[in-house]
Amino acid sequence: MKRNRFGINLDEGISLQTEWEFENLYVSYHDDTYRKLILWLKEQSEPLQFGGQIGSGKSSVILKSFKDSDVAPDIILHFDQEGLNLSSGDFLQIILTGFCEFALNNDVDLSSYSLPQEVADLSRDDWEGFLGKLSSDDFSLDAYKKKLEISRQLADNAEYYKKVIKSIGDTIQKTIDHPLLIFASGIDKYDTECAAYFSLQRIIATLLPYKTLFEVNAVHLFHTSKELSPIEKLFLPSMTVEKTEEIINKRMGIYAAAVKNELAVLSKWSGGNPRQAIRLLTYFETARKNRTNNFLDCILFAVRSTTRDFFAFSSKPSFEIMRYVNQNEKIDATEFILPGDKDTARRALYGNWFFITGTTQDTRWPVKTNPLVRGAFDEKIKPEEPEAKALRIYAEQSDVSSTGLSFPRTSDNGEKESGEKLKDFLSRNIEHPLPSNLSEVLDTMAAALLSKNRPDRVIIAFKDSSVVEAARAYLFAKANSYEYQRCSHALIAGGENMSPLQDFLEHLQEDTDIYSIQFGDSWTKDQLQSFDKLRDHLTQYQMIWWIEHDKLTEYLQEWTQLRQLFEVFILDDELLGSLSIEELEGDLEFFKDLVDDETGPEANVVRNLKVVLEYLQTVKGGENG
């Protein structure tokens, strides 16, 4: 991603990668945890589970630790990116690929193994061909079937192949002069309740003899299988809000000074979660473009939109557990392992309904309700809650009021306002998020949609399928306003006997800039869950997903991870409400004059605007008639 050296750098909270990013955007926190991680990398040889909640910055911390310690993993296994159906065969395939690749690149003698012949019907020593079959990027039906076949074969003989993996690992270990370091990434994407996680746990146990860094979610640290439970655990709690304030200040670059007070308020709503802080900032910046907004409106827009993205239509944890967290700000580790607990503590932790704010020497962990969802559980928003207090003080100091919202007042101010409206405001975004018209959707998407430099992803839920084509044409037209961008659309069907993940990955092979995907028919739960694991794989793509409104709840409830990197909109039915024929004609006239070349961006704008205009004229004609 292209970064601004002095100015604003926003994204959807993806992990930092480059030297420049670590130097300019990274904020160090929990130094003790970080020191332990570095020490482990440099001096220890036992496996380690490194865990944190969604968006807590785990991946950035891990990548930074590799740089700072000057210790790079020998093998990186992506359990969230390379599987096709999340079976034990897939997981074995991922590990085998990683081990064999390392062995081949480092001249490790594999002559005593006959995997190419056994698994892929190749000659015994055709390791290159074997790897080609295992990790093929070819999305032909033949290649896909071959991969599935290999996966089935590995699964059917799982115990044998686990032994093979162990043997290859030991052979590698003997030929290198340091403990074999494996980075098992993406385990954090697996909900402890999903079937795939059970298979995954059994397979990754084959990595225990090596110095393996398991990247896990906080919930995995509390809920592990017998095999994984003895492994040392290192936990990355949420940040202080001061640290998230530092992060969003860095993201604003030289412009931070212009919104210093507002950034301080936003950070309070982050709950100490860096990704949540960045999402709030992104929406705050979007809201600033609307000139009828004052700054308080902008903050509220950011809170409302971030809540919608992360929590709307999700399955809520129980009221009891959230009230307990709210009142006690401590939770006992046993809460996470109680049988029948899946609807409460684990779900709440996995879904970021509350944050673990520190570490503990005993079993009582310090926790805090996520400020964005407090309204859904609190009977009354307390005036002393930091985020509510910050909003109230800000409103008083700025001499602004907003959208009929009342803030909880402290009793010494003598006040009548109870904060009920603030509570309603917060809870409404989870149960019934407000729909957006197409112009509002475009305003929010514009930063990414109009430029190739920043690939963001959005989900647009529609109620009336007849508007989808025109809405899509409108967004495609706008996408070409300044840069030439190719847009490609596909309908992907789910359901029994369908392979939507394969179809989807095949669509991503197209050489285009914006991938528009409409989800058709009924997807199975397994198919939806398999998409959830793709989160990090999608960060490089600019995407618009179209989903029927009626299906949205069903989909989003399975996409706890995925929705972290998506903005979610509910599209108003009525395009005429936000697009005027006169305005479109004006745009068309402007761009027609600029068309030099039928393959240029301006020609793309004109073509797509004509589709929208035709649609609107038909609808309007229908209305008049």
Partner 1 sequence: MDRNIVLAYLWQEVINLGFSPSGNRDQKSWVHQYAKSLRNFWEIDEYSSNPKGESGVLKGRVDSPVNLSFDFVISAKDKFSVQFLSTPIRERGNGLMWNHDVDGNIFNFPVQPFLTLHNQGNIVLRSNLLQESDIEVIVDGLLCHTRAHQHIVLPIDDHEIRIGGGIDNAFLFLFHLRYQLCPIPEKREKEKQRLVQLFLNAIKNKNNIPINTLMAQPVVS
| Contact residues for partner 1, defined by CB under 8 A | 4-8, 10, 252-255, 257-260, 285, 287-295, 297-298, 398-401, 446-447, 450-451, 454, 481-482, 586-587, 589-590, 593-594
Rounded Cα distance, 271 and 239, in Å: 8
DSSP H helical segments within 157-216, as ranges? Answer: 158-175, 195-204
- Of 450 and 468, which CB lies nearer to partner 1 in the complex structure? 450
Taking CB atoms within 8 Å and a gap of at least 24, the contacts of 285-291 are 285/8, 285/10, 285/447, 286/443, 286/444, 286/446, 286/447, 289/443, 290/443
Smallest gap from Cβ 618 to partner 1, in A, equals 24
**Under a CB-based contact definition with an 8 Å cutoff, are residues 154 and 89 in contact?**
yes
Smallest gap from Cβ 570 to partner 1, in A, equals 23
Share in percent of the chain as helix, strand, coil (round to 5): 55, 10, 35
- Of 7 and 577, which CB lies nearer to partner 1 in the complex structure? 7
- Of 56 and 608, which CB lies nearer to partner 1 in the complex structure? 608
Smallest gap from Cβ 309 to partner 1, in A, equals 17
Query: How far, CA to CA in Å, does 287 sit from each of 209, 363, 375, 482?
Result: 52, 43, 22, 22
Tokens of 180: 């074999």
Rounded Cα distance, 480 and 478, in Å: 5
Smallest gap from Cβ 294 to partner 1, in A, equals 5
- Sign for the CA dihedral angle at 498, 501, 507, 509 comes to negative
Tokens of 607: 């073509």
- Of 23 and 593, which CB lies nearer to partner 1 in the complex structure? 593
Smallest gap from Cβ 440 to partner 1, in A, equals 14
SS3 154: helix
Smallest gap from Cβ 257 to partner 1, in A, equals 4
- Of 399 and 511, which CB lies nearer to partner 1 in the complex structure? 399
Going by the DSSP 8-state scheme, the letter that residue 313 receives in this structure is T
Q: Of 99, 119, 349, 93, nearest to 199 (Cα)?
A: 93
Smallest gap from Cβ 139 to partner 1, in A, equals 33
Smallest gap from Cβ 296 to partner 1, in A, equals 8
Smallest gap from Cβ 351 to partner 1, in A, equals 28
- Of 234 and 296, which CB lies nearer to partner 1 in the complex structure? 296
Residue 12, Cβ density class (10 Å: 0-12 exposed, 13-18 middle, ≥19 buried)? buried
Residue 597, Cβ density class (10 Å: 0-12 exposed, 13-18 middle, ≥19 buried)? exposed
- Of 292 and 497, which CB lies nearer to partner 1 in the complex structure? 292
- Of 72 and 594, which CB lies nearer to partner 1 in the complex structure? 594
Angle at 540 between CA 538 and CA 543, to 5 degrees: 65
- Of 75 and 442, which CB lies nearer to partner 1 in the complex structure? 442
